[in-house]
Chain A
Amino acid sequence: MVSAMEIYQLLPREACKECGYASCMALAVALLTREKKLEDCPSLLNPKYLEKFTKLKELLAPLEKASETGLIIHPEKCFGCGNCVVACPVNVAAEPTRCAVGLGPQGDRVILAVEDGVVKCMNIKECKRFGPDRVLCNACTVTCPSQAIEFV
């Protein structure tokens, strides 16, 4: 996953403050959390920075697939093992006779389920990392054998 520092080093760093942030580093962080887009940096849109713009676009591309909680799934890496499905506390609470004990979900109030051999993510708003009472739950990422799930 790309870091704020890597993004910062590719920005024009003209400190023009036109993005609304006091420093270019602050913008770099905002780009990482997707509060801002590359187009929000007027300096970057100058043709002389085209190479940097292209590189930044490339580095930030995976983030565009990430959900609002920052969850990204790489299905091509997924084993379909169901570890995340069974470890996810929201899944467990929603399906105490299924996911809690190792089986696939029956209802549709779960966040993670295995379909066609790989994991799919749904109802992401139910994830504990989302919302005002958010916590840094990482059950799905630490239980994955292949880093197919990660958080931005």
Chain B
Amino acid sequence: MLCEDIELVLKDGAISQAKNLCRKGYGHFQALFIERTRPMIDGREVSLDQAISKAAEILKSAKSPLLYGWSNSSLEAQAAGIDLARRLGATIDDTSSFCQGILMELVLTGKVPTCTLDDVRNYADTSVFWGADPSNSHPRHLSRFAYYPRGEKRQKSYEEERICIAVDVRKSAMARLCSNYYFRVPPGQDAEFIESILAVLDGKIPRFGDKKRMIELGSVLKKTEYGVIFPGLGLVHSLQEKMDLLVGLVAKLNEITTFMVLPMVGHCNMRGFNQLLLDETGFINRVSFQGKTAVHGPEQSVMAAAKSCDAALVIGSDPVSALPFGTARALAKTSLIAIDPRRSLTTDAAKVVIPSAMYGLEAGGTSLRLDGVKIEFEPFFKSEHLSDEQILARIKEAI
């Protein structure tokens, strides 16, 4: 959520008090001091210069390198990464590829209407969390924007002027807060659920779900003044290639009233990368610069490229933990370079490890919040480590 009201008291090089950080944020800040990486080649500690040289050597001699990660790096580092990919004729991809990519593309290209989180706080009277559990993934979402705070047009807030609807396969922590506005949809049946909503919006009998509740949902949506749908991975993975069903629903809702869409992005600057790459190549992810023009497609996704590449640079991400077994194994077996502030399965599997400063805490830069708002970070903690940007510049130099 890139919260800007965090207050810290630093004492003797540690955080002695932190205000307003949720449990997730606090854990992230504490990680400053836990299992920091050291420069390594083949499991042996080396000097930073040696690690960077080796990384440059690997990338230079690779025929089809893959540059992956990016979602936790600053815009400045991402731009450097895209530039590096061009120079190397590499394939570049980020976490959106298996995460919110499909939806992000619709948002960034204007195929679905969107707004800012501040708009949500000021105007939204209905928020729909679909396949998302912000209480666990974005803990301060409800208290800062969607449900509990007062806004310009929502001075009476959750008590009288706001409702939250949860659509999910399970009664998540978020769903428990929605009480009778929680709709349970079995896995993979979101298309049917959307069909039923469209039916009630047209005054027809819905075929799926409890008829009375669906009709009630329809009337709530119709009475909404400013609605926002927040799709999470649950919905994106359920619909996949059928995302046009969601587009259709949003279009229908906008015939009746105002409804926006905001993707529940899990990484601090995934939107930044998608926007940058879109501006440069016309695609939000999965681009190969091997030929003269940028090529985009499933073969350029990390899922495919992990197997077809002969070297991979992973920055600020842990795909060996987060990707399916086959993909993770392919990455672990290739000439893997990991740039990361902290130890992970990816750094443990990597041939070369380059320690970096923690973005936002030790290194500054700019991010795009999930709603596109630019957030500038000023580092508050001194570190000996280089920022992502600086490391990429040195690799570029060595190449």
Contact = CB atoms under 8 A, between A and B. Distances in A.
Direct contact of A and B (CB under 8 A): yes
Interface stretch (B43-51, B133-141, B326-334): B133-141
Interface string B150-189: 1100000010000000000000011011000000000000
Contacts of A115: 17-19
Interface string A97-128: 01011111000000001111110000000000
Contacts of B26: 80, 116-117
Given A115-B17, A117-B21, A100 B135 contact: no
Contact of A114 (B22, B149, B158): B22
A79 interface: yes
Contact of B22 (A80, A100, A101, A113): A80
Given A86-B149, A100-B150, A101-B149, A146 B143 contact: no
A104 B20 contact: yes
Contact of A82 (B121, B143, B150, B173): B143
Contacts of A114: 19-22
Interface string B116-130: 000001000000000
Contacts of A101: 121, 149-151
B222 interface: no
A20 interface: no
B20 A103 contact: yes
Nearest to B175: A145
B191 interface: no
Interface residues of A, number: 25
B359 interface: no
Contacts of B121: 101-102
A106 to B, nearest CB: 9
Nearest to B138: A81
Contacts of B7: 104
B148 A102 contact: yes
Interface in A53-97: 78-83, 85-87, 92
A117 B22 contact: yes
B23 interface: yes
11 contacts: A80-B21, A81-B135, A86-B144, A87-B158, A92-B150, A116-B17, A117-B18, A117-B22, A117-B26, A145-B174, A146-B173
Interface of A: 78-83, 85-87, 92, 98, 100-104, 113-118, 143, 145-146
Interface of B: 5-7, 17-27, 121, 135-136, 139-140, 142-145, 147-151, 158, 173-174, 176-177
Given A81-B22, A103-B144, 6 more contacts: A78-B23, A79-B139, A100-B149, A113-B19, A117-B22, A145-B135
